[in-house]
Amino acid sequence: MSKQRRPLIAGNWKMNGLAGSAAPELQELVKRAGEHSDPACDILICPPATLIDKMAGLAKGSAVKIGGQDCHANESGAHTGDISAEMLKDTGADYCIVGHSERRADHGESNAVVKAKAEAALRAGLTAIVCVGETLAEREGDKTLDVISDQVRNSLPEGATAGNTVIAYEPVWAIGTGKTPTPEDVAVVHAHIRKELGSLMGDSEAVRVLYGGSVKGSNAAELMAVENVDGALVGGASLKASDFWPIVETSI
C-alpha cells in the first residue's frame, strides 16, 4: 500500500439488507469510526438503492460515506426500474460502483456500457469505482492480463482523474468462493493496472486501485500490504460491522 494514496475500504452489500437489520450495523460502524479522530483511510458502504437515503442520514457527519451499486447512463427517461447517477447523488451517495462482474455477467454489460455508466457517475458528481477482473477460464487460459488491459482501457470514463475514479480488481473466480489469489498474483495484476493507467491518465500514480474477492479479516492485512493495493472492495464480510471493522483496521 502506497503512503501517497489514501486507502479506501468499501463494502458492497449487494442485494442484502432491510432497514430494520441494516441500520444497527451501520450505526455500529459509524460508532467505531468515530472512536478515531482522524481515520487514516476512507470508509464506504454501498447498500441497496432502497437503503441509500436512510443510510446516508445515519452516516451524515461521520467518517463513513455511502455509495450506490450501479447507475443508468442517462440522467432521466423511460427506463423502468433503473436509477440515474443524479438520483443516487440526490439520496446522499458520494460513490457509485460500475462494471461489477455480477453486472457484466448477469446483465451482459460490455466495457462500453460500463464506461457510459462511469461517465454518468462523474457527471453527477460521484466518484466512480470501476470494476475489472478475469474469470477462472480466462486465468487458466493465461489471459488475465489481456482481459484486464481490455477492461481498463475501454471501461475508464472520459475525464477520469485520481480524484473522481477508483479501480477495483476483483478476480471473478474469487468472489464469494472463499478462494483468493496469492499476494504475488495480486501484485502482478495491480502493477499491470498501474502500468495501463500510466498510458491513459496524467495522474495515474495517484489513482487508487482496490482489491476485491473473498476479502475478510483473516486475510485483509496480507492483501493490503501488497504493493499497489490501495484498499479493498468487500462483499459478504461487509454486512456485519463486527466482520467489516477488522478489515478497516488494517488501514486505519
248 secondary structure, DSSP code: H
DSSP 214: S
Q: Is 227 a catalytic residue?
A: no
Question: Is 72 annotated in the active site?
Answer: no
170, 190, 192, 196: the active-site residue = 170
Do the Cβ atoms of 84 and 49 come closer than 8 Å? no
Q: Is 126 exposed, middle or buried (0-12, 13-18, 19+ CB in 10 A)?
A: buried
Contacts of 161 (CB under 8 A, 6+ apart): 201, 203
Of the residues 72, 100, 190, 192, which is catalytic?
100
Distance between CA atoms of residues 213 and 184, nearest Å? 15
Spatial separation of the C-alpha atoms in residues 12 and 10, rounded to whole Å:
7
Question: What amino acid positions are annotated as catalytic residues?
Answer: 100, 170
